[in-house]
Copies of this chain bind each other. A is one copy, B any other.
């Protein structure tokens, strides 16, 4: 029941604060014999790395990952993999104000109340930097999945930024890497750029919705009740900081549907069951159907804004605060690779958990 771990068999524990010497992830339960090098992980870290466009924090971090254990002669050994990322850009600054004042919408006050002590430098453990460790661990999961389930593809992209939504009629995955928003809609990308520039210049921030798609996930992963595949995916996404909602398939909109509108009818195709639609998001009764797994999560706008906000000090005095410094006008942008990484970890974990219990055998149809 460790508080900083997730996963059943493929188990990840992250550690580290924003402005300490380093942060990282301890990855336990990885299958042996998986080809793995630092470059395989750096690929994903670079995607999350800040300062790549004017739309993300200007903090400059190399985010260079070091593999300290668990890999020998280019393959995983089955022992714990320690991934370390040094913090390099710890600008020496006066933390006086945020050390004394609680920033509204931040974990400052709850950390203080719970622990009676907090590392206020850059938000300590509650910094978005913690997600770098998740992305590194996700890279390990992706490497294992590439060996165990060739063809499995996990892709994340933004579908909403504040008031702006994508037009599904223009949906094109090829566009995702072509713009700073990871948005599958070229026109939205242009439109959002102007929209976010406006917010950024006014020192404001905005929320976003990220969608994660997993194609090629075999049928049969998950469990009926508490270790449901959707339960673990929901937990994984909700554990990302600033996330306030998670949905699978139709998600919250399922509440508005009637039974006849929601049914995914079944036919038998050449490679097994096929479905007339995917309202379920690829999961039935907690277990994957073999369809595309589709989930979405909402990221709130960062609370670090230039508009003065009322708050109190540790001493209890009423005051105001303006969060200066380097921040993300839309932290949802950098949440895209984080969501992908968490999905990769959960799917690999359930692949291992399933072969534990069933040996990977499947009930025959037809």
Beta-carbon contacts under 8 Å, A63-99 to B: 66, 68-70, 72-73, 75-82, 84
Contact (A238, B246) CB under 8 Å given A15-B69, A273-B109, A303-B262: yes
Whether A104 contacts B266 by the Cβ 8 Å rule is yes
Residues of B near A26 (CB, < 8 A) are 4, 13, 15, 26
Residues of B within 8 Å of A244, CB to CB, are: 230, 247-252, 254, 281
Copies in the complex: 4
A28 CA to B244 CA, complexed, in Å: 25
How many chain A residues touch the partner (CB < 8 A)? 164
Cβ–Cβ < 8 Å partners of A37 in chain B: none
Among A137-170, those with CB < 8 Å from B are 160-163
Cβ contacts under 8 Å, A226 to chain B: 3-6, 235, 239
Interface presence of A9 (CB below 8 A) = yes
Digitize A290-332: 1 where CB-to-B-CB distance is under 8 Å, 0 elsewhere.
1000001011111111010111101111100000000000001
Q: Mark A316-352, 1 if CB is under 8 A from B, else 0.
A: 1110000000000000100000000000000000001
Given A13-B80, A117-B75, A363-B116, A266 contacting B312 (CB threshold 8 A): yes
**A161: chain B residues within 8 A (beta carbon):** 255
Could you give 30 example pairs across A and B, Cβ below 8 Å? A1-B1, A1-B227, A2-B7, A4-B26, A14-B80, A14-B225, A15-B79, A17-B70, A26-B26, A30-B357, A33-B116, A72-B117, A77-B124, A79-B119, A79-B124, A102-B273, A105-B279, A110-B283, A111-B285, A115-B358, A162-B258, A204-B259, A207-B258, A228-B238, A238-B246, A245-B245, A245-B253, A260-B307, A262-B301, A355-B359
**Top 4 A-B pairs ranked by shortest CB distance?**
A107-B285, A316-B366, A245-B247, A356-B356
